[in-house]
Copies of this chain bind each other. A is one copy, B any other.
Amino acid sequence: MRDTERAISMCHALLSERGEVSGARLATEVLAVYQSLHGQALDAFFDGLVDQFSPDPAHVRRAADAYRDDPSPGNLVRLQSAVEPPRQELFRRFNMGAGGTRALVEMRRRILHALADHPQWAAIDADLVHLFKSWFNRGFLVLQRIDWRTSALILERLIEYDAVHQIQGWQDLRRRLEADRRCYAFFHPALPDEPLIFVEAALTRGLGARVQPLLDPDSPVVNPAVANCAIFYSITNCQEGLRGVSFGNFLIKQVVEDLGREFPRVKTFATLSPIPGFRRWLSAAAHSLSDHRKATQLAALVAKLDGCDSVPQKAASARLQKELTCLCAYYLLHASPGNQPLDPVARFHLANGARLERLNWAGDTSEMGLRRSYGLTVNYIYRLPDVERNHEAYARDCRIVASHELERLARQSLLVRGAPDRSEGRFEPG
């Protein structure tokens, strides 16, 4: 624990007078010692950050009392200062050291991973989030196009990070950066080699329904001049340590604007998205639906699907296909505990002001696509003139903007059929 004590004592020095004059040097040293800590020593260091760099409760109480007695501006300022943890200033000084920003983002990643076991570290997490929301302000981010001229260092990150559709090495990536593709990322000037988030788009003729052709490294390159659609088929947050500091919203809209300028013939901007929660929800529904008849129907359907080895999309009868699609439409539109869609991807795009447009049978026939949603995919449409209105309908009134077709499908699902009105059919598994 000697190292931990040394690290903590250096943190105190960094916050002191000395830190003011030798901040950068001292910060670099503290970072080095901190980065050498592991296991229990690291845990003890984080405990130390909580115990020794939090606001002083007595001091807070005095300031709060003074403010209660006289809510003057001066007393407010003193209260503000009393409640700010010294940790925040400590982290600001960390940031002066070489590699400081990166080290702090990485620190939060560690904290997030350990939070379940160390709930008291939430205080550290709160301070880091507070700083990151200020530092990673949209006004400081730089949008960069990523292509085959980009440095290998950055491209390697893309291969490493792509969470939606794993990039299978350099040849796969190369196809995704050809003339009919676009890839953009946000960067922060202090992390020039670290994409924060990136989006991959394909320029196509017609609104794509299926993921596999887009991912095929041997697919023919489309002449971008004849494209009329831009399909966002992957959007990936790269920095776990920045979770909750959201950029995706800004990124998509900025890219829609930029592509619109570069390709005036492209009129449709849409995603081709997974529906990660559908299958899990359907299974749960089959077990917990109160309407006995419908529960039985659903259970039979799920059993049939699960027994079907070679995956529904090929063998599926038109009837099964129809039934499943209607249930998926219902899931996206009405499975909304707490007034938010159950599906996380739906939540993201709908909150951004997109519109639920179309369900695609056999849209993603990968093992994961089948496991998560029986191979169904969905297109969300981004129409810039509508996003603000859509967003407000969603954020204020919990209203999901969807195509008529999708709403019709939801009404025909076995969960609604025969129900006196839609609301009765509504169902929340969890």
Contacts and interface: CB of A to CB of B under 8 A. Distances in A.
Given A64-B67, A76-B55, A169-B170, A139 B189 contact: no
A67 B73 contact: no
Nearest to A84: B80
User: Which residue of A60, A101, A135 has the most chain B CB atoms within 10 A of its CB atom?
Assistant: A60
A340 to B, nearest CB: 14
A274 to B, nearest CB: 23
Contacts of A57: 71
Contact of A134 (B122, B135, B387): B135
Contacts of A193: 149
Contact of A71 (B60, B92, B101): B60
Nearest to A351: B21
A105 interface: no
User: Which residue of A84, A101, A152 has the most chain B CB atoms within 10 A of its CB atom?
Assistant: A152
A388 B24 CA distance: 12
Q: Is the interface of A mostly helix, strand, loop or mixed?
A: helix
A22 B388 contact: yes
A137 B120 CA distance: 28
B17 A391 contact: yes
Contacts of A67: 60-61, 64
B395 A250 contact: no
Given A21-B353, A23-B250, A135-B135, A140 B189 contact: yes
Given A20-B395, A60-B67, A83 B79 contact: yes
How many protomers of this protein does the assembly include?
A: 4
A40 to B, nearest CB: 23
A201 to B, nearest CB: 19
Contacts of A21: 249, 351-353, 387-388, 391-392, 395
A155 interface: yes
Contacts of A396: 17
Contacts of A152: 148-152, 155, 170, 174
Contacts of A79: 60, 64, 83
Interface in A112-167: 120, 122-123, 126, 131, 133-135, 137-140, 142, 148-153, 155-156
Contacts of A96: 137-139
Nearest to A177: B152
Nearest to A23: B138
A23 B64 CA distance: 34
Interface string A50-73: 000001010011001101100101
Contacts of A151: 148-152
A374 B80 CA distance: 46
A95 interface: yes
A76 B92 contact: no
Given A55-B76, A84-B80, A151-B149, A139 B100 contact: yes
A385 B143 CA distance: 38
A387 B249 CA distance: 47
Given A60-B67, A60-B79, A120-B73, A20 B391 contact: yes
Interface string A73-95: 10011011001100000001001
For the complex of A and B, list the 5 residue pairs with the smallest distance between their C-beta atoms, beginning with the closest. Answer: A64-B64, A189-B189, A95-B139, A21-B391, A17-B395
19 contacts: A17-B392, A20-B395, A22-B387, A22-B391, A23-B138, A55-B76, A60-B79, A61-B71, A73-B122, A100-B139, A101-B140, A135-B135, A135-B137, A135-B140, A139-B190, A148-B151, A150-B152, A151-B152, A169-B170
